[in-house]
Amino acid sequence: MPTVLITGCSSGIGRLTTQRFAAHGWNVAATARHPETLAALEAPNVAALALDVTDEASIARAVAATVERFGTIDVLVNNAGYGVFGPLEAMSAGQLEQQFKVNVFGLAAVTRHVLPVMRRQHRGTIVNVSSLGGRFGSPFFSAYYSSKHAVEGLSESLRYELKAHGIRVKLIEPAHFKTGFISSLECVTLSTYEPQIDTMKSWVVHQDRKAPPADPIAEMVFKAATDPSDRLRYPVRGRIALAIHAVLPDAVWRAMMGAGMSRRPRS
């Protein structure tokens, strides 16, 4: 059976994706910063491995352990990530750097370590979990959304250079789904922005209350991983927003997004 290595499997999308691939009989290298969080996932075809995307040595160890146990890596799912929420002015340089270290440089580091394995076999698929936030901006998500824009640019560029090596690149672009994401949001604030932050937060909470479970994302990751076509982008529950964004004049779209800072959700 083919082998997939997934980052960020302690919760949410990574966990569900592990279960999805394992149920299809794949060999799964399920990785997390704290591998004890993966105990419930272990099975004959699931290896629980330590991997912090900001720690090159842990990446090298996890990739080597996967190849040793399963012989190869056919699919890499770069899923690990988190968000910083709040005004850019309130963020320390360290907070902004850490956002990119995990969401962008971490993803690039894991990819660099897996690529020699995929190139040797002249086959492989890299599935990068981006976000609808990789396609447009939103108030107080400057750090998180810019990191996802970087993931989009990296992935779209990388697909050109890997095509000749038989390696595909895919982007998953989910809208809001219920996972550990909101509870792990790192929030920063500054008094001068507080009324708008408060209103935007009420939208985030409102959307999270309505957000569905993330199983369709895991399904989409599996679909993208097994899709032999050259398709790059796989939105999940975001087609309408993307269609509206594509047809609305920029100024109208921006007015709509900006309204979230002054108008609270109903109910």
Ligand X SMILES: NC(=O)c1ccc[n+]([C@@H]2O[C@H](COP(=O)([O-])OP(=O)(O)OC[C@H]3O[C@@H](n4cnc5c(N)ncnc54)[C@H](OP(=O)(O)O)[C@@H]3O)[C@@H](O)[C@H]2O)c1
d(CA 264, CA 259): 9
d(CA 135, CA 23): 32
Q: Should residue 12 be labelled a site residue for ligand X when binding is judged by CB under 6 A?
A: yes
Considering only the stretches 158-166, 179-187, 226-234, 255-263, report the one whose residues sit in contact with ligand X under the rule CB under 6 A: 179-187
Query: Binding of ligand X at residue 262 (CB under 6 A)?
Result: no
One residue of 79, 125, 142, 146 binding ligand X per CB under 6 A: 79
In the complex, the smallest distance separating the C-beta of residue 55 from ligand X, rounded to whole angstroms, is 8
Q: Is 85 in the site for ligand X (CB under 6 A)?
A: no
- Which amino acid type is present at position 64? A
- The count of chain residues that interact with ligand X, using the rule CB under 6 A, is 28
Please report how close the Cβ of residue 242 comes to ligand X at its closest, in angstroms.
Answer: 13
Helical H runs in 88-238?
93-100, 107-121, 142-163, 194-210, 215-225
Q: Is 148 a catalytic residue?
A: yes
Distance CA 45, CA 242 (A): 37
- Cβ distance to ligand X smaller for residue 82 or 123: 82
- Closer to ligand X by CB, 117 or 221: give it: 221
130 catalytically annotated: yes
Q: Are strands 75-78 and 46-50 parallel, antiparallel or unpaired?
A: unpaired
133: which 2 tokens?
Answer: 């936030």
Smallest separation (angstroms) from ligand X to the CB of 79? 5
201 is catalytic: no
Rounded Cα distance between 228 and 224, Å, is 8
Q: Is 14 in the site for ligand X (CB under 6 A)?
A: yes
Contact region with ligand X (CB under 6 A), list: 39-47, 51-59, 157-165, 225-233 = 51-59
Nearer residue to ligand X within complex by CB, 3 or 131 = 131
Q: What single letter denotes the amino acid at residue 235?
A: P
Please identify, using beta-carbon distances, which residue of 127 and 188 lies nearer to ligand X.
Answer: 127
Structure tokens at 14: 């990574």
Tell whether residue 143 is a contact of ligand X (CB under 6 A).
no
Span interacting with ligand X, options 3-11, 221-229, 246-254, 257-265, rule CB under 6 A? 3-11
Q: Does 48 bind ligand X (CB under 6 A)?
A: no
Q: Which long-range contacts (CB under 8 A, 24 or more apart) does 16-20 make?
A: 16/214, 16/215, 16/217, 16/218, 17/77, 17/79, 17/217, 17/218, 17/221, 17/222, 18/46, 19/218, 20/218, 20/219, 20/221, 20/222
Residues 206-238: b if buried by 16+ CB within 10 A, e if exposed: eebeebeebebbbebbbbbbeeeeeeebbbbbb
Residues annotated as catalytic are 130, 144, 148
The binding site for ligand X (CB under 6 A) comprises 7-8, 10-14, 32-34, 52-54, 79-82, 102, 106, 129, 131, 174, 176-177, 179-181, 184
